[in-house]
Amino acid sequence: MRHSKIDIPRRDFLRFGSLAVASAALVSRAGQAPAQGTPHLDEKDSTAQGLGYRHDATKVDKKKFARYQAGQTCSNCQLFQGKAGDAWGSCAIYGGKQVNAKGWCNAYVKKA
């Protein structure tokens, strides 16, 4: 029996392994309803600040976040896990914390 050796550099193995784990976590949470009592995302949260999150999309710093376009809100983002009409809903980017449906961040992906 012949054994072939797979030579994957450790750095690539760790990079792809961590990507697989993160993807699996997002997929497993995608179908779950948001937990009652889940906290609202604070605009001062370090991840929120890095992605330019604002509870009100009209207050986004358009010079710093040139990707923003009028009409983009959390409620029409693919990562928003709330139901249509919900004022707040969970977001996959922020560990399930509640984001404002009228909010926006630089991770915005238009719903298909």
The CATH number of whichever domain residue 77 belongs to comes to: 4.10.490.10
Are residues 79 and 109 in contact, defined by beta-carbon separation less than 8 angstroms? yes
For residue 8, the model assigns a pLDDT of 60
* Residue 107 counted as domain residue: no
pLDDT of 107 reads 96
- List, for residues 63-82, the tens digit of each pLDDT value: 999 999 999 999 999 999 99
Residue 14 maps to a domain? yes
Six-digit token string for 105: 């961040």
Q: Which domain holds residue 61?
A: 10-100
d(CA 91, CA 46): 15
In a domain, residue 22? The reply is yes
Q: Is 32 contained in some domain?
A: yes
Q: Give the total number of structural domains in the chain.
A: 1
Positions of the chain with pLDDT under 50: 30-35
pLDDT at 63: 93
pLDDT of residue 38: 85
